[in-house]
Amino acid sequence: MNKFKNTHRKCKQKVSFAGKIILAFLLLNISLASFAGVEQQRQISGTVVDVQGIPIIGANIIENGTSNGTVTDVDGNFQFEVSAGAVITISYIGYLDQQINTSGSSNFSIVLVEDTQTLDELVVVGYGTMRKSDVTGSISTAKGSDIIKNQSFNALEGLKGKAAGVNIFSNTGQPGGEMRVIIRGISTINASASPLYVVDGVVMSNFQFLNPNDIESIEVLKDASSAAIYGARGANGVILVTTKRGGNTGNRARVSYSGSVSVSQMARYMDVMDANEWMSTFKQGLENANMWQNRNFTTDLSQIFTDDRIFNADGTPKYNTNWQKEASRTAVSQNHQISIQRGDNDHSVGAFINYTDQQGVLH
């Protein structure tokens, strides 16, 4: 009996010892796996710029096959952890996607190239983008170069005929007078309400004070889906204005001048009679009126048109002035602009000075 107990105790000791060995191996494997997992993660960093060396803000950097990623900051820099040997994809609106294998390096200088075809197919709406095919008719775009072709001194006036479905007209007709814009249509309930103006992300009451030469592009958001981000303020449509930037000039100041002089005249004058033609017509009217009623009426105009009736005190004819020509003139208008630009890969500054003198055809 004692022999059996001793044998049983030895077996239990062997089993207990074997279990400890197995447990130790399991813990070792777990530690090695954890250590290997830590070793697989490595930190990378870099900078994303365009072909001109200007940093791209908000570019997406994603590790392929995962949801791990980040975006570039205001200087185009990024930094995050990826798996060993990971391939990352860099993307940004209007640029070709670029894939980079992170093996062998931890710092990257990435240059994105514009994708002109994709850029023409996309429009920016609020915080996102939509394909033009999905918003056909709801967004109108006008480039600054097209607005300048109108030779107008008013940014809104230069937009005439450039954006479909947008009605622009003057309330007074005076040079520099306030312009009225209707996007929803004149026959709608809200026809009297003005759209929302957003200039470089800043909401303004109007933008006709801007020089057309300073405008890079104008987008008109006409339907609810494209203007949804602006809420009730965009109920009558939204006009987005993007102005020109300083650009990369190699850190050298670039000064440019542009000017124009235009002449305006009345398109046509109404055909009116002079004094002699009017008296002759008056005489004919008297003859026709009294032909059958009063045979004794006189046709001597000197008795009807006495000197005091047809001449002023200084002897000039009273009724021989074409007041259309007296009230109008040949209007000469001029516009001059000087732009000063300077910038490098990191910073850009632009100053635009404009002088405008617009005359009206009426005195």
User: In CATH, what number is assigned to the domain containing residue 29?
Assistant: 2.60.40.1120
Is position 343 within any domain? no
Query: SS3 breakdown of the chain: % helix, strand, coil, rounded to 5?
Result: 25, 35, 40
**Residue 122 sits in the same domain as residue 97:** no
- Which residues on neighbouring strands pair with residue 100, listed in sequence order? 88
Residue 47: the pLDDT is 95
Q: Strand 215-221 vs strand 139-143: parallel, antiparallel, or unpaired?
A: antiparallel
Residue 49: the pLDDT is 94
**Residue 205 sits in the same domain as residue 299:** no
CA–CA gap between residue 32 and residue 12 (Å, rounded): 30
The Cβ-side half-sphere exposure at 284, using a 13 Å CA radius, reads 6
Q: Are 358 and 176 within 8 A, CB to CB?
A: yes
**Residue 141 sits in the same domain as residue 229:** yes
Residue 153: the pLDDT is 75
Cβ of 219: how many Cβ atoms within 10 Å?
19
Please report where in the chains the tokens 């900078």 appear, as a residue.
47
User: Cα 237 to chain center, whole Å?
Assistant: 14
DSSP, collapsed to helix, strand or coil, labels residue 24 as helix
pLDDT-flagged residues of the chain (< 70): 1-39, 116-138, 184-192, 224-228, 247-249, 290-303
CATH number, domain containing residue 149: 2.170.130.10
Cβ of 215: how many Cβ atoms within 10 Å?
23
**Residue 183 sits in the same domain as residue 296:** no
Which of 312, 313, 303 shows the shortest CA–CA distance to 282?
A: 303
Q: How many helices (H) and strands (E) does the chain have?
A: 8, 19
Angle at 280 between CA 277 and CA 286, to 5 degrees: 140
262 Rama sector, left if φ>0, alpha if ψ -120 to 50, beta otherwise: beta
**Residue 154 sits in the same domain as residue 77:** no
Residue 33: the pLDDT is 46
Which of 318, 282, 273, 274 shows the shortest CA–CA distance to 300?
A: 282
Residue 133: the pLDDT is 45
Residue 35: the pLDDT is 46
Q: Are 40 and 103 within 8 A, CB to CB?
A: no
Structural domain ending residue among the three candidates 96, 114, 132: 114
Residue 60: the pLDDT is 93
Is position 16 within any domain? yes
**Residue 90 sits in the same domain as residue 131:** no
Q: Strand 202-204 vs strand 128-131: parallel, antiparallel, or unpaired?
A: unpaired
- Which residues on neighbouring strands pair with residue 334, listed in sequence order? 261, 357
Q: What's the predicted TM-score (pTM) here?
A: 0.52
| HEC letters along 40-56 | HEEEEEEEEECCCCCEC
Structural domain ending residue among the three candidates 221, 243, 265: 243
Is position 265 within any domain? no
Which of 175, 95, 127, 114 shows the shortest CA–CA distance to 362?
A: 175
State both tokens at 24: 């130790």
Which of 70, 101, 66, 105 shows the shortest CA–CA distance to 86?
A: 101
Structural domain ending residue among the three candidates 60, 90, 114: 114
Domain containing residue 102:
1-114
Positive or negative: CA dihedral 5, 6, 11, 16: positive
Domain count, the chain: 3
Is position 345 within any domain? no
